Amino acid sequence: MKANEDQKIIKLAILAVGGQGGGVLTNWITDVAERNGYLAQATSVAGVAQRTGATIYYVEMCPDTGRRPVFSLAPAQGDIDILIAAELMEAGRAVMRGFVTPDRTTLIASAHRIAAVSEKIEPGDGRADSPTVHKNAREAASRYICFDMEKVAVEAGSVISSSLFGALAGSGALPFARESYEETIEASGRGVKASLAAFGKAFERTVAGEDASASVQDAPRAGQGIAVAGPERLVAAWNALAARADAYPEPVRAMALAGLRKVVDYQDLAYGAEYLDRLDQALALDSAGKDHALGEAAAKHVANAMCYEDILRVADLKTRTARAERIRKEMKVGDANVLQVTEFFHPRVEEFCGTLPTGLGRFIENRPGLSKWVDRRINRGRRIRTDSLFGFGALWVIGTLRPWRRSLLRHQVEKEHLDRWYALALDTARRDYGLAVEILNCRRLIKGYSDTHARGHSKFDRVLSGLTLLEGREDAADWLRRLREAALKDEKGEMLDGALKTVATLEAA
Amino acid sequence: MAERSFVKEVQKLRLGAGETFHGEGILAITKALLQCGVGYVGGYQGAPISHLMDVLADAQDILGELGVHFEASASEATATAMLAASVHYPIRGACTFKSSVGLNVASDALANLASGGVTGGALIIVGEDYGEGSSIMQERSHPFAMKSQVWLLDPRPNLPSIVKAVEDGFELSEASNTPVMLMVRIRSCHVTGSFETKENKRPGMTVADALENPRRDTNRIVLPPASFLHEKEKVEKRMPAAVDFIRSRRINEFFGPDRGKAGIILQGGMYNSVIRALQRIGLADVYGETDVPLYVLNAVYPLIDDEVIDFCADKDSILIVEEGQPNYLEQAIASLMHKKGLDTRILGKDILPMAGEYTGQVMLDGISAYLRANAPELLAAQVLAPNASGENTLAADLAKVVPGRPPGFCTGCPERPIFAATKLIEKELGPHHISSDIGCHLFSIMPPFELGATTMGYGLGPASASAFNSPDAKRRSISFVGDGGFWHNGLTSSIGNAVFNQNDGVIVVVDNFYSAATGGQDVLSSRADNPTKSTQHPITDAVKGMGVKWVRHIDRTYDVTKVRAALREALTTEEKGPKVIVASSECMLNRQRREKPQTAKAISGGERVVKPRFGVDEDVCTGDHACMRLSGCPSLSVKKLDDPLRDDPVASIDHTCVGCGNCGEVADAAVLCPSFYRADVVHNPGSWDRFADRLRRRVTGFLQTRREKRRLTFGEA
């Protein structure tokens, strides 16, 4: 038996997303090992072009006894002592690939997310489920160290390799002193101060044993802590409306307050009252035994439906003080800098007519020749500098149209659609409460502008077209939910078509 | 200018006798070449030897001092043909490229070179790109060595062994008048380690000496009757000479006990993985002392029959560790046993997988299984009957969650808008047959673009659409080729072919000023001044020179509307013959590398600098992600808002945005939402900037306050 017990090779793998600087971290780790009298070997599959894909770096090390050990060039399942994941899903991938085992692996993972393309392109919410990764990672590893190391790095003006290095040092998984890690960073010679700051912060958080994975992000709080400012008369009227919403049962109350705020901010207090009137209709049919699901769904989706996206709203949002301040903060614009902001608009005849008084808008829309003529003059990408007086002024003037919004064509169209949908939901609620809730939730399908908006509408119509097939079935609500979820999966609605076909066969069966 | 600079590291190439080199495999190979007195080096970039080419390019001073000629060859065929300089002259030459794609391209030159044979040592260093992270089809280099009868070295993957293989390779080549292939696997190219160096040697004869004193020998030229003689010479003289050399110089190595019931024959490159598996089952120590006899083939072709027989003769069975398929070594050794009447069982691909990378787990499973069946007395009880199932029960749960993360376009990549435009034109004119090519632009086949049906080889994108040329169809084919592929092979095989055969298709040349996919090396059309190369030869001129009449040049690919218009015109014009669109914008990775330090310097130097970055107004964004379906930029991502009314995450642009402009252009061309904005931050603004800014902010501030005073404004309490 040749396995001499006194010598052990430490095996460390780094899973990162291409472009995260895994190479720098690898060099640091071999450097710190060599500083401590170890022999170390690093390998990577550089894949020169593979910028944003998942990559693995691998390091082996053992004390230098004067003899040359045989190191492996690639990580093997069940044979890793330390695994560093530079992104949360990469930690999941490491577990999946068998690189994390409970008998020995210290798993150091950054809790932040870099969304993969597949997560971004879904019309709905395609983001991967982080808690599942945390759960499995904790189960798979001998020790699980996880917090947002990207944030630690960015706050220190550094990059994630520094904070990962700090967490590695802090974990004590390698038998090296903190100072030798810091010497390594100092010797690297670039951005040393920021790197050391990020390193130190991550080191301390690791030693303190903070576990970000436990405090999984809570669901957003609804309607709490709204601060309102403005003329006294308006504030008093707001308070009266808010009191009305406050009297609703939970969880409708919280959602209604958020909705009320959105609607009033969008138009005015009268619009807010209109919103609450609509909600009252749903609440009249609601049931505490069903957790007020109908009221809550109505509170959410009626608010969204009433705040349709039009040019007035965009112009209003883009000319606010808060927005200017937010951009300056996000772009780190100091007093010594000047900020220029360019907006990208692409109006078409549809948007133009929507912003005209109903009669005039309809007049143009009903005449294809005229409509085309207008479109030719309007339909063009326009870049507007909102830091310039002209550009800002133009948007500000559009914003002054707000009081007349109710008389514009777009409002008529949206209102008719809303009334039809809401009436359908409330009418259904009398027969099938669950189905009504799902009808309300279908509003989620309508979003975006121009083509995207049209496609959203078409999906909405197609999903609701399933109603005739489902009506009367016990599991109608469940099926409608499935149809909606399918519609949110892809752009063209291919999943939805498949789901609708299934629903059609249900009926036949 | 290449993506990675080795200017500092190449100083290690100056190390003298008895010093210790520390560094990466590729750098060690370069040092070994110089120690061997190489006279000229050529090659073509491509993982994993791109960096070897970059090292050589950055080492041109040192090469020059030694009288070594270096060139970046136009293709692998060119690189191999360059070795013709060793046919008549006793000059050592080397070339390097990615295998096996490179060998496919080079095989014409390789066959001719091998037929006539060489006088000076000729070494072809092939970087194997097999297994995880590979970007090419999975094939072996081994059959190229067999069919052309050149010798193939596959050294153990550590720096001293690789350096020794370079030295051995040259000597073997000279001893047998045959070119030698040295294969280095992807991980050994980038493995770090150390070795003791020797003094660099000036070549005994330089290429200049040879030019001054030309020689020729008709017998070395591939033309009958010499070519018939070469065939015989290969088996009668050169092969025996090679076998003698490999045997007498002990190129192959034996480890472990002299005798045993079971043994392993392995490719040199697999040595570390085999030892690791033996370590894990308790049959080898950290230093590679093993209880199982190993015969390590640092030369995998030709085999040394008597060494093989000697190793096998006393054993009941042998396991052959040979990565990739077909199993040439296993076949050859089994046939040898049969011929010699030995009854040693030859096992290989029946225990180890026929195909795929021999990873740590594969080796552990395979070698354990082999020893359990054939030498159980060596194994501890736990290995004989393991308790753990080895099943990864968590994997299934995670497989549903963890998204795939294939490589894709970089942040700000100028190729992304080309494919956004293609996707938009397909929305307008319907789907088309699209041929893709090798290069970064091949990422178009992935989401979110999902464009392109085939990839047939470097520069062969338009060639692979050549069958789709029919007067009966109302639709044209679209094909892509990069600037790298264009100069490698595309100009003749694709463009010339399309002109000659009156192909009516649309060809898009994706020109990013570099051979970007391989790490940003210069090509003929690169815009930069390169001190050792001739650049700035426009692709449009070359295309016109080939006879293309319809050529459009777009000099800013980010203009999605313009790219789409060019595509629309190309797909609908009445004009016959190939329609070529050259879409040019600099590779963002290279551009950032060049500009970032300049910008930082200018800002700290007090110069007026405008830095653009994009942002998203999250209250305007509705979370439909239409922009991401036309982009896929890493800096454009999704973000969940702290707003209970919003079910879906909105778009968000992070601090890595380089302000390329694609987001704005796509929003414009596809008529998306008005939530994108570009923020130009002016650093060190001039007095006019400041004055105008103050004035504007005073006026806009007045208007904002006026409106906000009369309405309710909401904030977080």
Average pLDDT, integer, range B251-273: 97
Q: Which CATH code for domain B253-384?
A: 3.40.50.920
Class of domain B608-709: alpha beta
Fold of B416-590: Rossmann fold (3.40.50)
Identify the pLDDT of residue B89: 98
- With residues binned 3-state (H G I as helix, E B as strand, rest as coil), the percentages for chain A, rounded to 5, are 55, 10, 30
Question: A422 to chain B nearest CA, in Å?
Answer: 17
The chain A residue lying nearest B25, using CA atoms, is A43
Cα(A210)–Cα(A190) distance, integer angstroms = 29
The architecture that CATH gives domain B9-248 is 3-Layer(aba) Sandwich (3.40)
Give the model's pLDDT for residue A189: 84
Least CB–CB distance from B394: residue in A118, A140, A448: A140
Is A47–B407 a contact, with Cβ atoms under 8 angstroms apart?
Answer: yes
Contact state of A309 with B620 under an 8 Å Cβ cutoff: yes
| pLDDT for position B1 | 60
**B49, B154, B700: best mutation site toward chain A, by most A Cβ within 10 Å?**
B700
| CB-based contact A317 B617, cutoff 8 Å | yes
Can you tell me which residue has the tokens 């052309």?
Answer: B148
What percent of chain B lies above the pLDDT cut of 90? Answer: 90
Interface of A with B in 328-357 (CB under 8 A): 330-333, 336-346, 348
Q: Do B589 and A75 touch (CB under 8 A)?
A: no
The DSSP line for B370-398 is: HHHHH-GGGS-HHHHS-SS----THHHHH
- Residue B716 scores a pLDDT above 90: no
The residue of chain A nearest to residue B401, with distances taken between CA atoms, is A128
pLDDT of residue B133: 77
Pairing state of beta strands B345-347 and B192-196? unpaired
Q: Say how far apart CA B319 and CA B350 lie, in whole Å.
A: 10
Whether the per-residue pLDDT at B278 is higher than 50: the answer is: yes
B244 has pLDDT over 60: yes
CA distance A125 to chain B (A): 5
The structure tokens 């800014």 sit at B693
Q: Indicate which of A117, A127, A316, A326 best probes the interface with B, i.e. most B CBs within 10 Å of its own CB.
A: A117
How confident is the model at residue A5, as a pLDDT? 52
C-alpha triplet B520, B526, B527: angle, nearest 5°: 120
Helix or strand (DSSP H, E) at B64: helix B60-65
Secondary structure string (H, E, C) spanning A47-103? CCCCCCCEEEEEEEEEECCCCCCCCCCCCCCCCCCEEEECCHHHHHHHHHCCCCCCC
Rounded-to-integer distance, Cα B151 and Cα B143, Å: 11
Nearest-Cα distance to chain A for B608, in Å, is: 10
A254 touches chain B (CB under 8 A): yes
Nearest to A226 among B674, B696, B717 (CB): B717
Which residue ranges does chain B devote to CATH 3.40.50.970? 9-248, 416-590
A74 and B360 within 8 Å at the Cβ level: the answer is yes
Which letter does DSSP use for residue A130 in this model? H
Per residue in B179-202, pLDDT tens?
A: 999 999 989 998 999 999 999 999
Q: Closest-CA residue in chain B for A321?
A: B704
Tokens of B207: 């290429």
B667–A344 CB contact, under 8 Å: yes
- Chain A from 231 to 250: CB within 8 A of any B CB: 231, 234-235, 238
* pLDDT score, position A214: 55
Of B191, B404, B638, nearest to A127 by CB-CB distance is B638
Q: Which of B47, B192, B664 sits opposite A47 (nearest CB)?
A: B47
**The pLDDT of residue B175 is above 90:** yes
Q: How many CA atoms lie within 13 A of B50 on its CB side?
A: 22
Token pair for A339: 């900020």
* A254·B286 Cβ contact <8 A: no
Closest residue to B398, CB basis, from A8, A133, A230 = A133
Segment holding A464, helix H or strand E: helix A450-465
- The band of B393, judged by pLDDT with boundaries at 50, 70 and 90, is confident
B407: nearest CA partner in chain A? A53
Joined tokens for residue A305:
């439906």
> Are the Cβ atoms of B644 and A219 closer than 8 angstroms?
yes
Domains contained in chain A, CATH given: 10-208 (3.40.920.10), 232-306 (no CATH), 311-410 (no CATH), 418-508 (no CATH)
pLDDT of A472 reads: 87
Tell me the chain B residues in contact with residue A90 when contact means C-beta distances shorter than 8 Å: 405
Beta strand A54-63 with A38-44: parallel, antiparallel or unpaired? antiparallel
Residues B671, A75: C-beta atoms closer than 8 Å:
no
* Residue whose pair of structure tokens reads 């040329």 in the numeric block: B469
pLDDT at B426 over 60: yes
Count of CB atoms within 10 A of residue B438's CB?
A: 25
Structure tokens at B427: 């929305």
Q: Which of A41, A97, A136 sits opposite B193 (nearest CB)?
A: A41
Pairing of strands A54-63, A106-110: unpaired
Average pLDDT of the segment spanning B49-77? 93
pLDDT-flagged residues of chain A (< 70) = 1-6, 46-51, 211-224, 507-509
What DSSP string describes B417-458?
HHHHHHHHHHHHH----EEE-SSGGGGGGSTTT---SEE-ST
Helix axes B101-116, B226-233, angle to 10 degrees: 100
Q: Which of B283, B410, B669 sits opposite A2 (nearest CB)?
A: B283
- Whether residue A57 contacts residue A72, with contact meaning beta carbons closer than 8 Å, is answered with no
Q: Give CA separation, B462 vs B430, B433, B513, B622, in Å.
A: 20, 11, 20, 40
Whether residue B69 contacts residue B41, with contact meaning beta carbons closer than 8 Å, is answered with yes
Crossing angle (nearest 10°) for helices A409-429 and A293-306: 170
> pLDDT confidence of B387, banded at 50, 70, 90?
low
CA distance A411 to A266: 13
Interchain CB distance below 8 Å, B192 and A230: no
Contact of B201 with chain A, judged by CB distance below 8 Å, is answered with no
pLDDT in tens, B76-129: 999 999 999 999 999 999 999 999 899 999 999 999 999 999 999 999 999 998
* pLDDT score for A222: 47
pLDDT for A49 equals 46
As to burial, measured by CB atoms within 10 angstroms (0-12 exposed, 13-18 middle, 19+ buried), residue B59 is buried
Residue of B nearest to A55 (CA): B133
Residues of B in contact with A140 (CB under 8 A): 394
**Mean pLDDT for chain B?**
95
How are beta strands B579-584 and B550-554 bridged, if at all? parallel
CATH 3.30.70 in chain B is located at 608-709
